Structure 1
Amino acid sequence: MHNSIRKKGVVFTILMSLTFFVSAQNTDLKLWYNAPAAEVWEAALPVGNGRLGGMIFGNPGKELISLNETSIWSGGPNRNDNPDALKALPEIRKLIFEGRYQQASKMAAQNIQSKGINGMMYQPAGDLSLEFPGHEIYTGYYRELDLASAVAKTTYKVGNTTYTRTVFASVPDQAIIIHLAADKPHSLTFDASLLSEHDSKVSVKSDNELYLSGKSSDKDGVSGAVKFETGAGIKQQGGTISSDNGVLKVSGATSATIYISIATNFVNYKDISADEKQKNAAYLHAAMQKDYRQLSKDHIAAYQRYFNRVKIDLGKTTSATLPTDQRVAEFAKGNDPQLAALYYQFGRYLLISSSQPGGQPANLQGIWNNKMNPPWGSKYTININTEMNYWPAEESNLTEMHGPLIEMVKELSETGKETAKVMYGAGGWVTHHNTDLWRISGPVDAINYGMWPMGGAWLSRHVFEKYLYNGDKEYLKTVYPALKGAAQFYLDFLVEEPVQGWMVVSPSMSPENSPKSHHDVSIAAGTTMDNQLVFDLFTNTIRAAEALNTDAALIDKLKKMRKRLPPMQVGQYGQLQEWMQDLDNPDDKHRHVSHLFGLYPAGQISPYHTPELFEAAKNSMKQRGDVSTGWSMGWKVNLWARLQDGNHAYKLITNQLTPAGVNQGENSGGGTYPNLFDAHPPFQIDGNFGCTAGITEMLVQSHDEAIHLLPALPDVWRDGSISGLRVRGGFEIEHLIWKDGHLDEVVIKSTLGGKCRLRVPDQIRGERLTVATGGNPNPFFQSLEVKPAIIAANANLKPAEIKETLLYEVDTKPGKTYKFKIAN
């Protein structure tokens, strides 16, 4: 609270009135605070329309809106392939198979590592600065982000006048809208200016339009080629508006609406020929034709079309009346189930706000970045982070938001053809562990991180998973070439290892980790994650080809090669081995748990079909530990949910919802910033999305031949409900209710028809419901049929503890809804 109200007796009155104000309104879907963000970016509140992003600080005297546009990146179209790789490849493989990892890594660094181009940076457009003279002293402060409407609001008093600011990023009008209002006429006076760290120029066109033109930065010898323009137009009610030396000045108004537009010369990853000034003027002038009321109405309708599909209730305690930052600080001390529900919906809000149809995918920070040189370039890290951004897309009913990632996979399937050919002499396409706006596909960064030719395999999973939810063969036809091309690369690239004769990926690594015995050298062959990824890719390509009734010869090749992939192995500590050899260290607490890809997001490890692997995966999770970076804890929520341990999954949510810097562990143990952004640290958005997906997995799963209801319900969520989730096979959970920790009712809509198989913790009843036996004939629920595990003689593997469940099924028809109740 500002020092202006620190007078005896006054502070109590204001706090009490604020408490009554907050409790009188519904804050279930609101992040709210009783203090401004000051200069702390991680306390500001995000708005976005998929293309434009804004961070609102809520400072009364000097407001700042930090601005982003998704195509403002350093550099321009470029490639980073290293043609020396092809000649060196046989010798590097030979060194790896001989166990000479140091020499193999050195040779790969010299011949495979990029020759200096390691990806461009996502950069900010700049800031809108608003100065309000006399507003440094204020009372009754309150700010919020309403997830129900995607509107940020700030209110406070100066003297007897109440000032209100609302901000939103409109999809229909492609602008950020700021509305300023005073409850007393002619009380609003402020200056507006545009600022940027780029080489830029500010100009005024008429007294109510301000423009900033700039160009992105150079990097790695690639000249900055993205030209951009930001526009700010103001329409005021009452008072006057004028301009002075690049500043718009509003005086004596009652209200004002500020329209923010940004445009660049970007057309696509290989074309930057657009006229950014013409585009920007079109955006700005079209938006300024509408008044604030119409802009707000159109924005909310467009946003709620997506957001309102899913509702979640995990219960509520008195903690829900506290400001959001205080709730985060106290979450671990008691039960605040409503904060977990708010965090879940915040993840959905962020995906809607950072990934819209026709735009760019959400990057390492979504679309929000205030640094010219952000951590890791705020690029697309595709050895987990980018994929994690999209884990909630299908299941939390935001399939349209998945579109930008699907398009990026298609584009990489084009740029990656050259990389596959030039670097590895292979067909198909490949990309490594990082990419950017320009869709580079060669290795990025030092060889210990960059020698991972598996990005295409993981990304391709998304194009097929989307089909499992929508069942749309016309869609499948559009993505099948990318899926087929990714598989073709590994048909050509796999090599026989000399001990077992398995076909393996070499050279590669288990992302960002290395065996202790290899002395920090990560290069390897046949790592468990690679084997799982290739198995997953081959299986999905086979299923896609069969669904489309095409490529019979390719199907045969893939099936034969799939049989030659290494099986998963259980090592001496009862763990799922991370490497082809038994090299795991039970004291390894590394943030990546790459070898558990087969448990989540893939479904290759099952308590019902592979119990030994299921138990080994659990042992690996116990050995790796809980506290880690934010995104890693988000992944672990999903992994413990797949292990059917809801209480342990909830423990990870508790770790996640801890103020950043409190947890101790690798990289300071992650946590959450005051605005609910995930802390790696620093900020990475993937942890937000990972945790949203994890909460879904705790309540509903559909990867293992059935729709599994309440597979990992924690004890603290005794009563609750969720509606609107989507599951594989074209089914939608219209409503799922549980009481006292037990399933009570579920209503399921079938969009495709076919067999609906349910795995439930309690007996249920419903029309035409029968007990299920045998395999599920629904083609969207096929078993993966993984190879039997190889188990070390000294593994001491205990039998897997599996919760008792019941299997039911019903034949469904498209468009019909089916209701099932607990059997009394």
Structure 2
Amino acid sequence: MMTYKKIILAFALLLTCNAFSFAQDLKLWYNKPAVKWTEALPIGNGRLGAMVFGAIDNDHLQFNEETLWTGEPRAYSRPGAYKYLDSIRQLLFAGKQKEAEALAEKEFMGLKSFEGERSGWITKATVDKKYAAANFDDSKWPTMTVPSWEGWEQVGHGGLDGAVWLRTSFVLPDDWKEEDMIADFNRIRDWDYSYVNGVLVGSQQNTEGRKYTVAKNLLHKGKNTIAILVLNFSDKGGVYGYKDTSIHIGIAPVSNPNAKISLNGDWKYFVVDDNPPPVGAYQAAYQPFGDLHLKFANTTAATNYKRELDITNAVAATTYSLNGVNYRREYLVSQPNQVIAVHLTASQKQSVSFEAELSSAHKNYTVTKVGNDLVLSVKVRTGALRGESYLRVVAKSGTVKIDNGKLIISNADEATLYLTAGTNYKNYKDITADPKQPCITALASIAGKTYLQIKAAHIKEYQQYFNTFSLNLGKSANESLPTDERIEQFATANDPSFVALYLQYGRYLLIASSRPGTRPANLQGIWNDLVNPPWGSKYTTNINAEMNYWPAELLNLLPLHQPLFDMISELAITGKQTAKDHYNAPGWVLHHNTDVWRGTAPINAANHGIWVTGGAWLCQHLWERYQFTQDKNFLKNKAYPIMKDAALFFNAFLIKDPKTGYLISTPSNSPEQGGLVAGPTMDHQIIRDLFKNVIAASEVLNVDAELRTILKEKYKQIAPNTIGKHGQLQEWMEDVDNPNNKHRHVSHLWGLYPGNEINWDETPEITKAAKQSLIFRGDEATGWSLGWKINFWARFKDGDHAFHMIKMLMSPAKNGAGSYPNLFDAHPPFQIDGNFGGAAGIGEMLIQSHTKYIDILPALPSALASGEVKGICARGGFVVDMQWSEGKLMKLKVRSIAGTELRLRYNGKIVTIKTIKNGEYQFDGQLRSL
């Protein structure tokens, strides 16, 4: 009997063999190099990732390896926390939310990692105050841009924690009268000692804004000096400004705060101590690995520059001309050979000369020579993981040497760099791997092979996933524009092919960050350049991690779902301990975040970190796999045991609400607002979905009849969706929704999407209320929230509104949501989930199968009136090809993978037919069989 893995691979191979007849020009391209990380082009193989900048004189590849994180294997759950569960519940039932949060904060949160002793370090770091003196000579200090919004990591100081002095000066106008001043230093992380002309004017330890009164006798006409000692222990550091960037750092008279002298700009800085004591953390953070720089001499006269990412082949390239020679650099990340490859060629022999060097954002790194290779060794500052990266060059003619830690290539006809990486991470509880071994194995695999052979194997492996699907929305005039200019014009241009490119880019990103056998795509996929990345670049399981995989089944990337399934299997193990320690319950539970060590306990703060349905939501992905493939082996051996254990937890966890008599979920919250509550709507939708799916799975497998009966009874008792006084779907048990609330999370619409209990067929009144909730919440949102809203409007079958949201998602990210020049989604900052949510939403506009019907073109927008899709998938085990023109279906082909009954619906017409396994069925625009 075939295993479910073999079935999925066979499924993908079958679809790959159906070659698509029309070509798609699927490229991102630019006429200038990347300057910012969000302009660079991503490449990856699921384990290794790199960002390609493509500069002519100093090319840069920032690279990652998926298992380099902070932290180490440890206990995350708090033993005995369950003893306080009933007290927390009783406080919530009594309406004492703040008291419940205080108790939970003290006794119910998970455990942090080791925290070092601070007092001695602080005393040492603050003892020398000479740097605050007005007459101190700071002329030899370097400069830093202040404020550095989102932390000084964003202005070239990644990984900088510790004690840092910052200094600047200003001139007090002669015509200002003598009076007290207000110094507004904006927000500072974590602790500041702020001086004016050598006198301490204020000190705080928090992340709030600093506004200090400066006595008039401290100031004088002419030059005055500001000095701030910043103590930063972890995460974002420095003077990092307000979210409203129009509010400058500055000083102003108390009587006229609008007359502020701006202090924004370059400040002098000096690092006193960059090794602060470790800070306890609830969870770990994904880390950058290293940087590869390629330096070329005498390139100022270069012309005809272009860089591109060909997502059909997963190959990036940089081309330019110089002194009559055409140069080309190609970049790829090979899965078969596990190397990052950079291939450099020229139209004239002996023209390839450059230097290559390795470095890292980590303080503890070294570069050594091992044989003919450069070896980068790194160690994370707060954790047990270390890594090795080998760099090898293969050149045709010319000379190669290693000198002073650099590879120097001179006068070659062509050259190929092969970059590898590995860590001592073996799995979430074992760090005994040899970090050199993946490098040695990879380099051994390319021995005797040419670059063209390695490239061909890479493309073949990649295209087995990519070529299962195509989308043609016609040609667009703006295809001739560079991608960054195309983004600028998309909202006002007729550019449907850009929508097809965006969807395919989402598929490319998932393939690049989530191959079978790797860890799943995290908050940034596999790409991260910061030691302190936003939100740890981990797995936020109250939507973001799940959103990453919304395209997997629908857009025919089934094998790419496997890493998420593997992580769920691991979480189902670690989550058992959390269920026992925090709830004294059977089964397993996951709260709103996890990391590479598979922590499952509540984190951060009680007002948002105690959210119990992360595991139940992940179980939906297991059921979706069965729904799309009808693979009973997968259901029996992989999905059902995990789903069952999650249901056993909620069977024990649900409690009767003393006011209504319904079973409710508590303590929990509605992500990420409203605080700790009893009975959030989202929880009940997810738990109902879990129970329903476990019941259905047990019937398919003919097992656990007794449990099935229990869950059916519990299902009926769970608090239902409720319509509130504003005609909205209530987010909580109480009717307290604020119509003016514009929060990015729309958690209580989970049952609409990705769930299915809210739909026009079965629950029209609840669906109408859900729509009213979304109207209240508004269109404006962060990037990933825009991605979610596209799917909502598609489920409402309002294609034009969904397309309006697509325009917002694909607009330039300028201090707000949208897309960066490389089409990365902007939360802001970068989060990859918006790319995946947007891609899935475009698919939902073309086909939906969450009810008993497969709806054809259910939310087709007028902007996408004509097109063709091949390889889009539907529940029940169907793969669909279709063409439409002027908003009307022209023809349809359905392949039945599992031989289940086919129920099609289009334009009010329903067709039901029996199918056979691997049978093909064709229809015209009126669903008449052909």
If the length of structure 2 is used for normalisation, what is the TM-score?
Answer: 0.78
Partner residue of 1:754 out of 896, 900, 908: 900
Displacement after TM superposition at 1:266 (Å): 1.3
Partner residue of 2:856 out of 704, 709, 723: 709
Displacement after TM superposition at 1:437 (Å): 0.2
1:808 aligns with 2:804: no
Partner residue of 1:528 out of 667, 676, 681: 681
Displacement after TM superposition at 1:27 (Å): 7.4
Once the two structures are superposed, what CA deviation does each residue of 1:261-291 show, in whole Å capped at 9, x if it has no partner? 1111111111111111133211123224321
Q: Structure 2 matches for 1:140-289, cutoff 5 A?
A: 140-198=304-362, 199-207=364-372, 209-218=373-382, 224-289=383-448
* SS of residue matched to 1:273: coil
Query: Which position in structure 2 is the counterpart of 1:621?
Result: 774
Query: Which position in structure 2 is the counterpart of 1:774?
Result: none
Displacement after TM superposition at 1:74 (Å): 0.6
Query: Which position in structure 2 is the counterpart of 1:35?
Result: 32
Displacement after TM superposition at 1:238 (Å): 1.2
1:64 aligns with 2:60: yes
Query: Which position in structure 2 is the counterpart of 1:822?
Result: 925
Amino acid of the residue matched to residue 259 of structure 1? Y
Once the two structures are superposed, what CA deviation does each residue of 1:629-686 show, in whole Å capped at 9, x if it has no partner? 000000000000000000000000000011002xxxxxx5410000000000000000
Partner residue of 1:744 out of 890, 893, 896: 890
Aligned residues: 736
1:630 aligns with 2:783: yes
Contact 1:233 1:288 survives alignment (8 Å): no
1:122 aligns with 2:269: no
| Distance in 2, Cα, partners of 1:66 & 1:387 | 27
Displacement after TM superposition at 1:84 (Å): 4.6
* SS of residue matched to 2:381: coil
* SS of residue matched to 1:490: helix
Identity %: 48
Query: Which position in structure 2 is the counterpart of 1:137?
Result: 301
Displacement after TM superposition at 1:26 (Å): 8.1
Amino acid of the residue matched to residue 50 of structure 1? G
* SS of residue matched to 1:88: helix
After TM superposition, the structure 1 stretch with the greater mean CA deviation from structure 2, 379-388 or 281-290, is 281-290
Partner residue of 1:102 out of 84, 92, 98: 98
| Distance in 1, Cα, partners of 2:412 & 2:23 | 31
* SS of residue matched to 2:355: strand
| Distance in 1, Cα, partners of 2:419 & 2:312 | 22
- Which runs of no fewer than 5 residues in structure 2 stay unpaired? 1-21, 113-280
- Check 1:542–1:27 CA distance in 2 against 1; reply closer, same or farther (3 A cut): closer
Contact 2:24 2:472 survives alignment (8 Å): no
* SS of residue matched to 2:668: coil
If the length of structure 1 is used for normalisation, what is the TM-score?
Answer: 0.88
* SS of residue matched to 2:669: coil
Amino acid of the residue matched to residue 180 of structure 1? L
| Distance in 2, Cα, partners of 1:736 & 1:102 | 55
* SS of residue matched to 1:812: coil
Displacement after TM superposition at 1:499 (Å): 1.1
Partner residue of 1:304 out of 445, 463, 466: 463
* SS of residue matched to 2:449: coil
Contact 1:703 1:728 survives alignment (8 Å): yes
| Distance in 2, Cα, partners of 1:407 & 1:425 | 26
Query: Which position in structure 2 is the counterpart of 1:511?
Result: 671
Displacement after TM superposition at 1:810 (Å): 1.1
Query: Which position in structure 1 is the counterpart of 2:820?
Result: 673
Amino acid of the residue matched to residue 661 of structure 2? G
Displacement after TM superposition at 1:105 (Å): 1.2
Partner residue of 2:800 out of 640, 647, 656: 647
- Which runs of no fewer than 5 residues in structure 1 stay unpaired? 1-24, 219-223, 515-521, 662-667, 762-804
1:325 aligns with 2:484: yes
| Distance in 2, Cα, partners of 1:243 & 1:317 | 49
Query: Which position in structure 2 is the counterpart of 1:798?
Result: none
Amino acid of the residue matched to residue 737 of structure 1? Q
RMSD of aligned residue pairs (Cα, Å): 1.2
Once the two structures are superposed, what CA deviation does each residue of 1:71-112 show, in whole Å capped at 9, x if it has no partner? 000111122212352111111101111111111111111111
| Distance in 2, Cα, partners of 1:693 & 1:534 | 23
1:732 aligns with 2:869: no
* SS of residue matched to 1:722: strand
Which structure shows the bigger proportion of residues in strand conformation?
Answer: 2
Once the two structures are superposed, what CA deviation does each residue of 1:455-513 show, in whole Å capped at 9, x if it has no partner? 11111111111011111111112222111111111111111110111111110000011
Displacement after TM superposition at 1:62 (Å): 0.3
Contact 1:28 1:338 survives alignment (8 Å): no
* SS of residue matched to 2:618: helix
Displacement after TM superposition at 1:426 (Å): 0.4
1:86 aligns with 2:92: no
Q: Structure 2 matches for 1:478-627, cutoff 5 A?
A: 478-514=638-674, 522-627=675-780
* SS of residue matched to 1:346: helix
Contact 1:79 1:442 survives alignment (8 Å): no
Once the two structures are superposed, what CA deviation does each residue of 1:156-197 show, in whole Å capped at 9, x if it has no partner? 012111110000111111111110011111011111111012
Amino acid of the residue matched to residue 102 of structure 1? K
Query: Which position in structure 2 is the counterpart of 1:718?
Result: 865
| Distance in 1, Cα, partners of 2:397 & 2:24 | 33
Contact 2:608 2:676 survives alignment (8 Å): no
| Distance in 2, Cα, partners of 1:277 & 1:168 | 21
Contact 2:101 2:676 survives alignment (8 Å): yes
The structure having more radius of gyration, on CA atoms, is 2
Contact 1:80 1:115 survives alignment (8 Å): yes
1:398 aligns with 2:541: no
